[in-house]
Chains A and B, each alone.
Chain A
């Protein structure tokens, strides 16, 4: 099955730095979702985007639904140690089709 191209694969940053990650696809998606997974736990939904061009914030997190509908971006501002984890993007083409997931971005924060 198709997967989204998520980058970077991993990143190491200093506490307090801002972080950016993105997902791209050759296909159009109608919904973009961003999840965070802590070790040994299930992914937790961070932000959901339903309209092209939409920019949505959740605390220090901001995500955008690309205007072409083929990409999405997640930014984390002023990172803290508890931001450590794996961040996944997921796209949905239409109702009654399964989500397509990226392979994740592993974030490490150095205090």
Chain B
């Protein structure tokens, strides 16, 4: 089955610890994205990557880091510098680059991170 997987579904961490969220896709998509969702806020872009070994900051990148060493994987690290990390995190991917249907994004099931 082709798709985007995020693991784990629920994650609990103590304040001050870094935590890495996994996102994997087997759709052969070039572009991948990370969003944060808070109640009533919609989706806010954290980081995105349009090709392997390259990524750009989104609107709320502070306190987060990413890597894109493989086409199918785009892990997100929530660092201790992120002041309010408790949120629902969504990963998405798209074919990428040329506009129109190639930029239509498909989402994973999300990871709910709770920092205690």
Binding site for B on A (CB under 8 A): 1, 3, 30-31, 33, 35, 40-45, 48, 50, 88, 90, 92, 94-96, 98-99, 101-104
Contact = CB atoms under 8 A, between A and B. Distances in A.
Interface residues of B, number: 31
Nearest to B40: A103
A48 B110 contact: no
Interface of B: 4, 6, 33, 40-45, 48, 50, 58-59, 88, 90, 92, 97-110, 112
B20 to A, nearest CB: 19
Contact of A3 (B42, B101, B102, B108): B42
A96 to B, nearest CB: 6
B103 A43 contact: no
Query: Considering the complex of A and B, which 3 residue pairs feature the smallest CB-CB distances, nearest first?
Result: A95-B99, A42-B107, A1-B59
A88 B43 contact: yes
Contact of B103 (A42, A92, A104): A92
Contacts of B102: 95
Contacts of A44: 107
A33 B106 CA distance: 11
Given A40-B88, A99-B45, 12 more contacts: A1-B59, A31-B100, A35-B107, A42-B109, A95-B100, A95-B102, A95-B103, A96-B99, A98-B33, A99-B33, A99-B105, A103-B40
